[in-house]
Amino acid sequence: MDIREINEKIQQESAFIELLNLELGKVIIGQKYMLDRLLIGLLSNGHLLLEGVPGLAKTLAIKSLSSAIQAKFSRLQFTPDLLPADLVGTMIYSQKQEQFTVRRGPLFANFVLADEINRAPAKVQSALLEAMQERQVTIGDETFKLPEPFLVLATQNPIEQEGTYPLPEAQLDRFMLKVTIGYPTKEDERLIIRQNLAQEFPKINPVISADTIVKARHAVREVYMDEKIEKYILDIVFATRYPKDSNLKKIENLISYGGSPRASINLALAAKAYAFIKRRGYVIPEDVRAICHDVMRHRIGLTYEAEAENITTDEVINEVLNIVEVP
Amino acid sequence: MKRNILLYIALFLPFLMNGQGVVATAKLDTATVVIGQPFTLVLTITQPKSIAINWPYIADSIGGLEVVQNGGIDTLPVDDQGILLRSQKVTFMAFDSGAYTIPGFVIDYNVKGEPVKAYTDPLRISVYLVPVDTSKAIRDIHGVVVVPYDMFFILLMVLAWLVTILIVGLVILYFINAKKKDDLAEVKSIVRKPAYEIAMTALNELDKKQLWQRNLVKAYYSELTDILRLYIQHRWMLPAMEFTSDEILAHAFIHQNDKQLQDELAYVLRLADLVKFAKVLPHNSEHELSFKNAVSFVDKTTPEPERNPIMEEADNKMEVSL
């Protein structure tokens, strides 16, 4: 397809983004960054891990998004006594019918908020992550497809790590993005206070259907990505794996392992989704850079030296981006 | 002497022994010692092979004397009639002066089911202080031991010193060379061509390549933007090669220039992005305009003295001569 046609198609297909942003903006003040990442996850069929202190409108954001898309939403509070069956569902014996019947769990929703995922033991985390990956659940002998679109937004609290089960690296890799959200600005927080004091909570109206999202996902895949951008993505990911080869001796001792091939795939996909949100039919280096931290931050392992010096993966990614030449 | 004693005992023992009896003797090798001087006690028991005896227990200290070495029991057959000669050597030391008595040892054994005892005589030993000659100066007990010279050892030491000196010398040489290299690098950076000259030379070469005229539009814009990025890097000391177009255009340095210049640069970078990443094919006039804008940007952002260094040099000479 010609690039002009792609561009026109993307312009048409992405028209709902503004509408969606306007609707969400009615209740979510600030947090544009988080909303953009939610859309990227939604459009590229990925899942998000959100890290932020409590009270930053994480639940409100995903709830509002599901309302605006006319989709089913469920929230799961992860606790140490949670069982996999509490998530996926279980077989219940019906005395009336004298047989076992399936009772589906809260995972059967379009938007699932897995609150404080690190508070549940590994078997529960594993059940959720498997469902995220396979997009299907097996209860008894039957396998059930999860609804489309299916987006999991898991949250983690960066404080109070006592009594938690940190997600292993292999499972972290299954999240497309790890988004770190911060506090709103003073101006935004003032508006939040006013809105809360006035008890004025606008109602979110459904502006698009779930089918629109499914259709948009196809359009995202059609966004043009030039070879130069592909090379740029590979240069970034390889720089995290072999820093010495990329003239990054400075951070060589800070990285224990770099991004996996899944990092390259997700970086490319997320960059396409970002370009789509920006209503462009092609990817530019700015798209890659804009999304790079969110895709890479949970995929780079730091050494003890880095941890001892309080160096974060974000700082390592900054170093990589400052060295890798932009095409 | 000790051997002779043992020999006499062994020869006359069968006569001395009463039937199947056990004979025990204890002897000291000296009767007087000085403090700390070791002396030996030999306990000898002659017995028929058929009799089992309880060998006396030797404690860590006996009668105020310290046992410093307790030798094992040595057994020797004396004749064919089954007589055994057994002995044990015990070395003692005393750490205080005086007269000491080593009590007699008791040897228990049975003859036809009846318990019998054999005894040794108690032994006396006198321990004296070391006589001190106060008229002489205090001296070491032992003098300094002089190690005899060993030629092999001396050669080994000389070799070790030579190797050490060689290693130290090499390390110093390495650092001196590294320093020289750094100095050379500094000199190289000092003598680098001016940013203007580098950029203009590259632009001229790009023009000569006639890339867009040969339908190599993408390569043309890639090179054009690389020249501009490199120029910005040299001119403002910014890592512009690692900047995206948006980052370059948003940077503070760009706002120091007039609006027209900013627009010219933005035009080149934005169009280049479209060509490089969105397969856009601009009109020929746009290629020319992009090149013109690039030249204009380099030209207008370069200070006058750098643009005409020869002229400047000539002016300076004039001033000096005047």
Residues B115 and B28 grouped into a single domain: yes
Residues B163 and B95 grouped into a single domain: no
Report the amino acid identity of residue B266. A
Could B279 and A226 be called an inter-chain contact, meaning their C-beta atoms sit closer than 8 Å? Answer: yes
Domain boundaries of chain A, sorted by first residue: 12-81+108-212, 223-323
Note whether residue B317 is domain-resident.
Answer: no
Could A285 and B278 be called an inter-chain contact, meaning their C-beta atoms sit closer than 8 Å? Answer: no
Q: Decide if B265 contacts B235 (C-beta within 8 A).
A: no
Could A226 and B246 be called an inter-chain contact, meaning their C-beta atoms sit closer than 8 Å? Answer: no
| Closest CA relative to residue B301, chosen from B232, B238, B240, B252 | B232
pLDDT of the residue at B30:
92
Note whether residue B136 is domain-resident.
Answer: no
Output the CA angle A17-A21-A23, nearest 5 degrees. Answer: 120
pLDDT tens, residue by residue, A167-209: 888 778 889 999 988 888 888 888 888 888 887 778 888 888 8
For chain B, percent of residues with pLDDT exceeding 70: 86
Residue to mutate among B224, B273, B277, with most A CBs inside 10 A, is B277
pLDDT tens, residue by residue, A205-226: 888 888 888 888 998 998 999 9
Residues B222 and B170 grouped into a single domain: no
d(CA A258, CA A251): 12
For chain A, percent of residues with pLDDT exceeding 70: 99
pLDDT tens, residue by residue, B112-134: 888 889 999 999 999 998 877 88
Note whether residue B277 is domain-resident.
Answer: yes
Quick one: closest CA in A to B221, which residue? Answer: A327
pLDDT of the residue at A238:
94
Could A284 and B222 be called an inter-chain contact, meaning their C-beta atoms sit closer than 8 Å? Answer: no
Q: Residue A42 is inside which H or E element, if any?
A: helix A32-43
pLDDT of the residue at B19:
46
Helix segments in chain B, DSSP class H: 2-16, 151-190, 195-209, 217-236, 245-250, 252-255, 259-278, 284-300, 304-307, 309-321
Domain A12-81+108-212 homologous superfamily, CATH: P-loop containing nucleotide triphosphate hydrolases (3.40.50.300)
Report the amino acid identity of residue B311. M
Q: Which tokens sit at A77?
A: 């509070």
Q: Decide if B211 contacts B217 (C-beta within 8 A).
A: yes
Say which CATH number the domain at B64 has: 2.60.40.10
Q: How far does the CA of residue B240 sit from the closest CA of chain A (Å)?
A: 9
Question: pTM of the prediction?
Answer: 0.65
Residues of A in contact with B243 (CB under 8 A): 326
pLDDT tens, residue by residue, B54-86: 999 888 999 889 999 988 899 888 777 788 899
Q: Residue A229 is nearest to which of B243, B247, B277, comparing CB atoms?
A: B277
**Contact A286/B at CB under 8 A:** yes
Q: Is A115 helix (H, G, I), strand (E, B) or coil?
A: strand
Note whether residue B60 is domain-resident.
Answer: yes
Report the amino acid identity of residue A23. E
Reply yes or no on whether the pLDDT at B315 is more than 50: no
Residues B202 and B182 grouped into a single domain: no
pLDDT tens, residue by residue, B197-235: 888 899 999 889 888 888 889 999 999 999 999 998 888
Q: Which tokens sit at A323?
A: 């060295």
Q: Residue A3 is nearest to which of B242, B276, B279, comparing CB atoms?
A: B279
Could A224 and B279 be called an inter-chain contact, meaning their C-beta atoms sit closer than 8 Å? Answer: yes
Note whether residue B320 is domain-resident.
Answer: no
Q: In this structure, how many other beta carbons lie within 10 angstroms of the beta carbon of residue A318?
A: 14
Could A286 and B276 be called an inter-chain contact, meaning their C-beta atoms sit closer than 8 Å? Answer: no
Could A224 and B245 be called an inter-chain contact, meaning their C-beta atoms sit closer than 8 Å? Answer: no
Those residues whose C-beta lies under 8 Å from the C-beta of residue A44, and which sit 6 or more positions away, are A176, A217, A220, A266, A269, A270, A272, A273
Pairing state of beta strands A111-115 and A73-77? parallel
Report the amino acid identity of residue A166. P
Reply yes or no on whether the pLDDT at B11 is more than 70: no
Reply yes or no on whether the pLDDT at B149 is more than 80: no
Residues B87 and B172 grouped into a single domain: no
Residues facing residue B89 across a β-bridge: B42
Arithmetic mean of pLDDT over chain B: 83
Report the amino acid identity of residue A168. P
pLDDT of the residue at B128:
92
The number of folded domains in chain B is 3
B interface residues, A as partner, C-beta within 8 Å: 222, 239, 241-247, 273, 276-280
The number of CA neighbours under 13 Å toward the Cβ of B7 is 4
Residues B256 and B291 grouped into a single domain: yes
Q: Residue A322 is nearest to which of B239, B245, B278, comparing CB atoms?
A: B239
Note whether residue B143 is domain-resident.
Answer: no
Residues B11 and B86 grouped into a single domain: yes
pLDDT of the residue at B311:
46
Could A226 and B241 be called an inter-chain contact, meaning their C-beta atoms sit closer than 8 Å? Answer: no
Quick one: closest CA in B to A319, which residue? Answer: B242
Residue A258 dihedral angles phi and psi, to the nearest 5°? -100, -170
Reply yes or no on whether the pLDDT at B38 is more than 70: yes
Q: How far does the CA of residue A159 sit from the closest CA of chain B (Å)?
A: 34
Those residues whose C-beta lies under 8 Å from the C-beta of residue B219, and which sit 6 or more positions away, are B211
* Residues spanned by the domain of B161: 149-186
d(CA B162, CA B164): 5
Could A284 and B273 be called an inter-chain contact, meaning their C-beta atoms sit closer than 8 Å? Answer: yes
Residues B91 and B63 grouped into a single domain: yes
B308 confidence band (pLDDT: 50, 70, 90): low
Reply yes or no on whether the pLDDT at A270 is more than 50: yes
Note whether residue B53 is domain-resident.
Answer: yes
d(CA A224, CA B230): 28
Note whether residue B321 is domain-resident.
Answer: no
Domain formed by A223-323, architecture: Orthogonal Bundle (1.10)
